Amino acid sequence: WAKGAGRGGYVVFNPQMRSAAAERRQLEEDLWAALPGGQFRLVYQPVVDLGSERVMGFEALLRWDHPTLGVVLPERFLPVAEDIGLIPEIGRWVLAEACAAAAGWRRSHPGAGALSMAVNVSPSQLGSPGLIDDVRSALESSGLPAAALVLELTESVLVRDPLLAAERLHELRGLGVRVALDDFGTGYSSLSHLRQFAVDILKIDRSFVSTIDDAEAMPAILRGLINLGRTLDLEIVAEGIEQERQRSHLREGQVGLAQGYLFAAPLEHTDAELLLLGQAEAPAESP
């Protein structure tokens, strides 16, 4: 069918398009039942110290256990949730769930007292007036100290509505939570944005980490991003580390923290807890 599509200046509504539209309708309908039906769950990817490889915190990542489709990933359903206005409710649930998990782990594992929890915040969530209350109540009901919570924003929100973003960041930091710029380097933010918006952490996108290869020491752009973060005195987290040579280059490049399949994929709640248990038994510093 593809050959015929668009020929003569029109696009034939083909079966594949119909099924894409039908799938989208199904996701829309089913999303309404997901939260009340308990179909969402969080998985937790360790954030490790590149020097000691100890787990310093986790990033909460959302999963939807769809009754017939199986596990649906956030990049597939969050845009749909966005369109039907479900982001605030879902975001509230994620915040409460993630804070409760982190508070529980900090209480029950001796070595996890300083553990942090990172939660992704979508652009529309940052725009919604309820966010501050949601954050405050997630902290209060879990007992998690504000400084242990990191909210991850992408650069696009800073560009879209700079005034609103600046105001929200100010309010959030007033609560004592930390703010990370996620996928850093892929958006439109620039030096001036970084100066204008008080953020605490830069998460360097996987696409830059993956430019590390055998031939080069450290690719120039990646080096530049790291230097930028260091100049502004920000904490740096490298995302998506999959290979040993990426780990060693970043460690030599003085990057403090990292996430990636090389260390651990996102883990179920109980597996994250097992990891913390194992770490508590290990010596504090690996030789």
Instruction: Return residues touching ligand C2E (CB under 6 A).
Output: 45, 61-62, 73-75, 78, 94, 120-122, 152, 182-183, 206, 240-242, 259-261, 266
Give yes or no for a contact between 101 and 117, defined as CB atoms under 8 angstroms apart.
yes
Give yes or no for a contact between 160 and 188, defined as CB atoms under 8 angstroms apart.
no
Instruction: Kindly tell me which of 183 and 273 has the beta carbon lying closer to ligand C2E.
Output: 183
Helix (H) or strand (E) holding 202: strand 201-204
Least separation in angstroms between CB 183 and Mg ion: 4
Interface residue with Mg ion, options 152, 155, 181, 201 (CB under 5 A) = 152
What are the structure tokens assigned to 247, written together? 């780990």
List CB contacts of 65: < 8 A, sequence separation 6 or more.
39, 40, 41, 71, 72
Instruction: Kindly tell me which of 75 and 281 has the beta carbon lying closer to ligand C2E.
Output: 75
Cα R_g (the chain), whole angstroms: 20
Residue 73, binding choice from ligand C2E, Mg ion, none, Cβ under 5 to 8 Å by partner class: ligand C2E
Instruction: Kindly tell me which of 120 and 189 has the beta carbon lying closer to Mg ion.
Output: 120
Least separation in angstroms between CB 227 and ligand C2E: 22
Give the burial string for 259-281 (b: 16+ CB within 10 Å, else e): bbebbbebbeeeebbebbeebee
State yes or no: residue 273 binds Mg ion (CB under 5 A).
no
State yes or no: residue 120 binds Mg ion (CB under 5 A).
yes
Instruction: Kindly tell me which of 63 and 111 has the beta carbon lying closer to ligand C2E.
Output: 63
Backbone φ, ψ for residue 205 (5° rounding): -60, 150
Binding mask 167-206 for Mg ion (x = CB under 5 A): ---------------xx-----------------------
State yes or no: residue 155 binds Mg ion (CB under 5 A).
no
For the chain, give the number of residues.
287
Query: Binding residues for Mg ion, per CB under 5 A?
Result: 120, 152, 182-183, 239
